[in-house]
Amino acid sequence: MPQQYASSPHNPGVRVLHLTDRLTDRGGAHRHLLSITRALAERGHDVHIAAGTVDGLTEDVPATIHGLPGLESRTPRPVALDALLVRLDPDVLHVHTVVNPIALHCAAARGAVFTVQDHRSFCPARGKWTAKGEVCDLALAPTACGGCFDDRAYSDEMMALTRARLLAIQGAPVIVLSEYMRRELVRAGLAADRIAVVPPFVDFGTDAASAEPDGPPCVLFVGRLVEAKGPLDAVAAWRQSGVALPLVVAGTGPLRDQVEAAGAEVRGWIPHGRLPRLLRRARALLMPSRWQEPFGIAGLEALSLGVPVVAWDSGGIREWHPGPLVAWGDVAGLARALRAAIGSTASPPAGFAPGPLMDRLERVYAAVPVRLVDQLS
């Protein structure tokens, strides 16, 4: 394939190889990969995805899929990346959701672009949320992070892994989804001029706004049922609010039994194609994220269909939320905001249209080395 992409930010026919730990349509980070894969294919690019595992994929993906064991590892493990690069000869190598330090260092040495979608390159613990249940505003350091671990050996291991991940992307072009994530990476030592902010976009299709609601009006929570996402806080706020609508929960996880016992209707994981029907019945989306949200795509999806989002001020949420936000950790405030939101209609925020955001992504791609395979040792 002609290697001319570096001279043009919009050159159809470019071959892009994405690397991901697992190929799935569960979770915002993995959904984002599928969204840009679809958009790149629509723009005429030849899209390939190499994944450590394929898990729970319920939709067609407009890409050639390759298995690459080791990408899914959370600890150092060799990955046969060079052989795949020689075989495919991609113009762009784009890494997502991979935290195996060996894979990251190998990809960086081959001229990869990295999307950093979570905290694992600068926070060894809970996503900028401390073991004491407080927001963490400290930079990465053993003295700052050690308090989040009971075991010193495990703390040292996680610090070493986090530093290895950060070192791997130190000199590479990096994409983040929010200014919040950009600030955190700069605090951790990355050069600001190497970090591009390219937010995600809603990938529902043109008929989402007219989708038939799949039930009567409700209050909605969408996300993994883990402490970081705040499902028990959502239940508590719903109960305190006195709103006479059921709380429907789309997600699953270790807190499912507790959420159900508190009175919520847990639907389990909902395929992305069915989510518009669920959102169309929602009168508000609750989003009390305890960890610092890298972005929070579920909220943007709700706003796109006119559903008000009742959220804590967490991480990158303020970059798309029209406000007002509830102070982080304030369950009573969340309940009051929920009462106020019922009966209102939200408007989608400006600045998140797919076309301009994909143009921005292609401009990042345009800066990659012209011949990736020439960098193989």
In this structure, are residues 123 and 46 in contact, taking their beta carbons and an 8 Å threshold?
A: no
Structural domains in the chain?
15-201+355-367 (3.40.50.2000), 208-341 (3.40.50.2000)
Q: What pLDDT, on the 0 to 100 scale, is given for residue 8?
A: 39
- In sequence order, which ranges of 256-326 are alpha helices (DSSP H)? 256-261, 275-281, 297-304
CB neighbour list of residue 92: distance below 8 Å, 6 or more residues apart: 5, 14, 15, 16, 17, 113, 365, 368, 372
Q: What is the pLDDT of residue 3?
A: 37
Residue from 144, 140, 145, 127 nearest 189 by CA: 140
Point out the residues of the chain with pLDDT beneath 70: 1-12, 369-377
Q: Which pLDDT score, from 0 to 100, does residue 70 have?
A: 95
Q: Would you state the pLDDT for residue 11? A: 54
pTM over 0.85: yes
